[in-house]
Amino acid sequence: MDEIEDVGLIEVVIDAPAAGAKAKVKRKRPKKRKFSDPASSYAKRLERYRPGLPRFMLDALATRYGHPQWERRLDPTSELILTILTQSTADTNAEVAFEALRQAYPGTGEVQAHHPGAGWGGDGLPDGVAPDWGAIEFAPLAELTDVIRPGGLPNQKAPRLQSTLRRIREERGDYSLEFLGEMPAIEARDWLDQFDGIGKKTASVLLLFSFGQPLLPIDRHVERVMRRVGLLPPKATLDAGHDLVLGLFEPDDLYEAHVNLIQHGRKVCHAQRPDHEACPLRTRCRYVDPKAP
């Protein structure tokens, strides 16, 4: 009679020996690991070669920057428009352009306070009402371009603002994006990702900051630190990276990971002359030691 011994991934079949004969052991081939998605596959591979690295990074950054707490910074449509205005420019310039929209196209909603949080590179917007999105969508393009000119790249951003607002209205009937908070994070990100000029980063910023959705936007600071430490594969595109990093952290840790990585990229791990001596990640950073554990 055969006995089957279950040893996890491998089933061992043992033929019961006849009296005096040697037991014949047949090993079934190890079951092929099946990963549900590239993110968990990558997380498991990294864990095998560099155990505990994501947790180490979170804890080390927290010693310096603490545990930032999520708080909604703006309504989601304002967050999206402000994020588009930050593309390829400093956050302070985006604030100037957003404030110019408020002045040129005043809205009639509630006064909002801007809670930019520690990762934001500007001063924060003054309290104010969201602009009149309809007026922006239908404004003459040349006029809108002039309004946002102080924020930089107006020729690129003015048509992008209008096409984004147009598409939201055509698909939803108004300009509200509150419905995204009810959708699963990846589905909501995919919905936004179809818009011209909105990639996974911009979509993730909106969903993380407006709803606390479990996503990790990878801007240039986050990317630099993660690649240097070795948490992002060197050749992974940013598009793929946005998916891969989701397997590294618990959903509840993604906000802290994003905010503290941005702070670290701004304050310590500069593009030029990073301050390794002051860095709590240096013992496990592959940029300073290619064999770091």
Residues lying near ligand SF4 in the complex (CB under 6 A) are found at: 225, 228-229, 268-269, 274-276, 279, 281-282, 285, 287-288
* Pairs from 216-219 (Cβ < 8 Å, separation ≥ 24): 216/242, 216/245, 216/246, 216/249, 216/254, 216/257, 216/258, 217/242, 217/258, 218/242, 218/245, 219/262
Nearest CB to ligand SF4, comparing residues 201 and 221: 221
Nearest CB to ligand SF4, comparing residues 48 and 273: 273
Nearest CB to ligand SF4, comparing residues 46 and 139: 46
Q: How far is the CB of 282 from ligand SF4 (least distance, A)?
A: 4
Q: How far is the CB of 226 from ligand SF4 (least distance, A)?
A: 9
Q: How far is the CB of 209 from ligand SF4 (least distance, A)?
A: 24
Residue owning tokens 């180490």:
56
- Residue 168 makes CB contacts below 8 A (sequence gap 6+) with 77, 174, 175, 177
Nearest CB to ligand SF4, comparing residues 64 and 102: 64
Q: Provide the token pair at 140.
A: 């003459």
Q: How far is the CB of 261 from ligand SF4 (least distance, A)?
A: 10
Nearest CB to ligand SF4, comparing residues 54 and 116: 54
DSSP 3-state assignment of 98?
Answer: helix
Q: CA Rg, the chain, in Å?
A: 25
Cβ–Cβ under 8 Å, residues 163 and 108? no
Q: How far is the CB of 184 from ligand SF4 (least distance, A)?
A: 32
